[in-house]
Structure 1
């Protein structure tokens, strides 16, 4: 029986939603925060990412496992939401979404990060071979929590709990 995995985690950050959004859409520099994504390349792109923009996500697990994903932006609302679909070898992987809600009169942000698994059985098999991760939902929940703690530390000037890649 096929089922869909959906992971959702939230964190409160002492920074305005617009500032948090600006860091999230700077996909080339995601490696500062993510334990798996090392960054992205944006070929033929000028200006802010908008709906329909594409980029390549660069990922790493350990010293040996590396892979890229093709990403297409599906929502880009400054200070509110950023979402994109990922694929590889022409097969769907996931939808990533970042929802931002103002707190404290706009001085803070509740960041909700969502990962929704869009993989079919073939991509699930390929993904285990490429990444070595069998339980992607559990893995991504832990990765999201690390990423959010690092984002919070970035904005609040706290030391980050830097788990290794």
Structure 2
């Protein structure tokens, strides 16, 4: 892995539901506690009430499901309804970006959840040392999140 490239990972899953329904699950941050193994709740902040570029929210996180509990500020950077949602984590000094891409396919909607760490040197060094382990944890967490969304959407 190059130290110049941002560490990245993604997981895709097909959900047999209308794209509008899948979009409502990925774009309503207040529901993340139903799906994520690490972020057990989130709330809109600074007057935001729904997804839009610039909208801010905060997530209540328990790292790896066992670590310390803390709130983290987030901001939506990409909001293309029924196509793409991406948000940065960490406020002005964002440490990573998380997102969802949606694509209609014959048997439903292919949802891809992804993360991309900042290219700041400390984070690149962190990834060089612990990236394989953290990448696997992120992949498991993304797969769990998407599988839980699938269960709700396909009911």
Q: Shorter-chain TM-score: which interval? A: 0.7 to 0.9
Aligned residues: 150
Structure 2, unmatched stretches of 5+, are none
Structure 1, unmatched stretches of 5+, are 127-132, 158-165
After alignment, is 44-53 or 136-145 more displaced? 44-53
- Equivalent residue of 2:50, what SS? coil
Q: Does 1:83 align with 2:81?
A: no
Q: Does 1:4 align with 2:2?
A: no
Q: Which runs of 4+ in 1 moved over 6 A?
A: none
The verdict on how the C-alpha distance between 1:6 and 1:33 changes in structure 2, with shifts beyond 3 A counting, is same
Check whether the contact 1:9–1:113 (CA below 8 A) recurs between aligned residues. Answer: yes
- Equivalent residue of 2:146, what SS? helix
The verdict on how the C-alpha distance between 1:94 and 1:102 changes in structure 2, with shifts beyond 3 A counting, is same
RMSD (CA atoms)? 2.6
The verdict on how the C-alpha distance between 1:24 and 1:7 changes in structure 2, with shifts beyond 3 A counting, is same
Provide the rounded CA distance (Å) in 1 between the counterparts of 2:12 and 2:6.
Answer: 20
Calculate the TM-score normalised by the size of structure 2.
Answer: 0.83
Provide the rounded CA distance (Å) in 1 between the counterparts of 2:84 and 2:60.
Answer: 22
The verdict on how the C-alpha distance between 1:39 and 1:125 changes in structure 2, with shifts beyond 3 A counting, is farther
The verdict on how the C-alpha distance between 1:70 and 1:123 changes in structure 2, with shifts beyond 3 A counting, is farther
Provide the rounded CA distance (Å) in 2 between the counterparts of 1:56 and 1:47.
Answer: 12
The aligned counterpart of 1:74 is 77
The aligned counterpart of 1:151 is 149
Provide the rounded CA distance (Å) in 1 between the counterparts of 2:93 and 2:52.
Answer: 22
After alignment, is 56-65 or 11-20 more displaced? 56-65
Provide the rounded CA distance (Å) in 1 between the counterparts of 2:136 and 2:19.
Answer: 27
After alignment, is 38-47 or 94-103 more displaced? 38-47
Calculate the TM-score normalised by the size of structure 1.
Answer: 0.78
Check whether the contact 2:48–2:55 (CA below 8 A) recurs between aligned residues. Answer: no
The aligned counterpart of 1:162 is none
Higher share in helix: 2
After alignment, is 137-146 or 46-55 more displaced? 46-55
